[in-house]
Amino acid sequence: MEDFLWFKDITKDFGATRAVDNVSLTVRRGEIFSLLGPSGCGKTTLLRMLAGFEAPDTGRIILENQDITDLPPNLRRVNTIFQNYALFPHMTVRENIAFGLKVAKKPKAIIAAEVDRMLAMIQMQDHADKRPAQISGGQKQRVAIARALVLKPNVLLLDEPLAALDLKLRQKMLLELSLIHDEVGITFIYVTHDQGEAMSISDRIAVMNNGRIEQIGTPAEIYEAPKSSFVAAFIGDTNFFDGRITEVLDPEYCRISVPDLPDMLCFNDKKLAKGDLVHLSIRPEKFQISLDPPHAGVKYNVLRGVVEDIIYQGDHTRYWVNVGEDWNISISRQHTRFMLDEKPINWHDKVFISWFADDGFMLERYSEKDEELLPTPPQTVGESDAPLEDESDEQEPEAENRP
């Protein structure tokens, strides 16, 4: 897919608040591209600037090699679907879909044919003469999509389109949105704060925070290889460990010292050296939990702990295991078999947790001001004639992975 939409150095202020801070990104033709982030991160403001409802203070927006930064909304081949769908209550489903074509003064025969095509695509032929009050929330959303697509825009903007729907309907509509996208083939830009929605529907995701883009990538890249602590914590759940490399075992693996825990073996994808600080992320589902000692291989880590809390969630169970002073590790165990077939793990049980060295992912390195929070690595014989430092007065970092 080729790039056909560019945001170049976009900045937008509302009074003293910077909503979008020097954002640059490209969107490819025909993809579903999601802007994901918490409330107030700037994602909706970026969408409104693309639609023409807001003007950037600096920067340009280029669509298919045309600068549309200063174009009014009605001259952009961009349509928006809002949270409340904005259907006309006094019009039928058919009339709502036809509205844009009538405003554009298309011939009646073309309007009728295009509306029939849209009704068939959203499977609403039997509801064409009903008014919005007579159809369900999911059906209203389909009508809003058809009304936007009938004008054949280059880009369809979806601003939190599923926010008003219940969980089951959201899941159903995500599938329908994906099928509609595959049929019409135009670019969707999807704004949401729901990580599950973005992961389910997107080809690529831009994670935003405080007006800036933290990371752009496929759902798998964002989840498995986050570039910052914010991305790792916002996309799903994770456990953070702060430590220092005590030994580089080979070009690919290293040993990390973490306060109050045994040393950990980790895949050294950042090619860090002995003494470097590490901020490590390990997802809850990467851990194995058992009552008996695991049959761990040479590249596995094993810790002992006590179960502090358990939450049963149907398809999986969440455990919080205390493994040391102020260290509670979050673990997610998928139910691949009927739970009663095995001995259950209960509160206050002594357990083993293990994980493969490759399952820890190194995040961005700490700045120098953070070094005092971590102990210095022990020196090996022959490195220096100076005595080892006394680490008894070192300040330990506050644990970030409490449930």
Q: ∠ at Cα 242 (239, 243), nearest 5°? A: 135
Q: Which residues pair with 158 in a beta bridge?
A: 81, 190
> 217: which 2 tokens?
């990538």
- Digit-coded pLDDT (tens) for 295-309: 877 899 999 999 999
User: 250 and 167 in one domain?
Assistant: no
Q: Is residue 388 part of a domain?
A: no
Q: Which of 176, 199, 232 is the last residue of a domain?
A: 232
**Helix (H) or strand (E) run with residue 25 in it:** strand 17-28
Q: Is residue 142 part of a domain?
A: yes
Q: What's the whole-model pTM score?
A: 0.82
In this predicted structure, what is the pLDDT of residue 388? 33
What is the 8-class DSSP label of residue 124? -
Mean pLDDT computed over 146-150: 89
The letter for the amino acid at 230 is F
- Structural domain count of the chain: 2
User: 162 and 52 in one domain?
Assistant: yes
User: 181 and 273 in one domain?
Assistant: no
Do the beta carbons of residue 278 and residue 243 sit within 8 Å? yes
**Mean pLDDT across the chain:** 86
Q: Which of 232, 266, 294 is the last residue of a domain?
A: 232
User: 275 and 159 in one domain?
Assistant: no
User: 295 and 174 in one domain?
Assistant: no
Q: Is residue 206 part of a domain?
A: yes
- Digit-coded pLDDT (tens) for 183-236: 888 999 999 999 989 999 999 999 999 999 999 999 999 999 999 889 999 998
The letter for the amino acid at 237 is D
Q: Is residue 19 part of a domain?
A: yes
- Digit-coded pLDDT (tens) for 76-128: 999 888 777 788 999 999 999 999 899 989 999 999 999 999 899 888 999 99
User: 253 and 171 in one domain?
Assistant: no
CATH of the domain at 351: 2.40.50.100
Q: Is residue 400 part of a domain?
A: no
Q: Between 176 and 277, where is the model more confident?
A: 277
Length of the chain: 403
User: 156 and 79 in one domain?
Assistant: yes
Q: What is the C-alpha to C-alpha distance for residues 347 and 308, in angstroms, rounded to an integer? A: 6
User: 247 and 221 in one domain?
Assistant: no
pLDDT band at 365, cuts 50/70/90? low
- Sign of CA pseudo-dihedral 233, 239, 243, 245: negative
Q: Which of 232, 254, 276 is the last residue of a domain?
A: 232
Determine what percent of the chain is predicted with pLDDT higher than 90: 63
Mean pLDDT computed over 342-364: 91
Q: Is residue 389 part of a domain?
A: no
Q: Which residue has the tokens 């759940």?
A: 237
> 364: which 2 tokens?
């961005």
Q: Is residue 221 part of a domain?
A: yes
pLDDT band at 366, cuts 50/70/90? very low
Q: Which residues contact 360 (CB under 8 A, 6 or more apart)?
A: 241, 264, 266, 267, 280, 281, 282, 286
Mean pLDDT computed over 164-177: 80
314 class by beta-carbon count within 10 Å (0-12 exposed, 13-18 middle, 19+ buried) = exposed
User: Distance between alpha carbon 108 and the CA centroid of its chain, in Å?
Assistant: 44
- Identify the three-state secondary structure at position 121: helix
CATH of the domain at 166: 3.40.50.300
Q: Is residue 394 part of a domain?
A: no
Host domain of residue 330:
240-373
User: 217 and 247 in one domain?
Assistant: no
User: 174 and 74 in one domain?
Assistant: yes
Q: What is the C-alpha to C-alpha distance for residues 63 and 189, in angstroms, rounded to an integer? A: 13
Report whether pLDDT(369) > 60. Answer: no
User: 339 and 280 in one domain?
Assistant: yes
User: 175 and 51 in one domain?
Assistant: yes
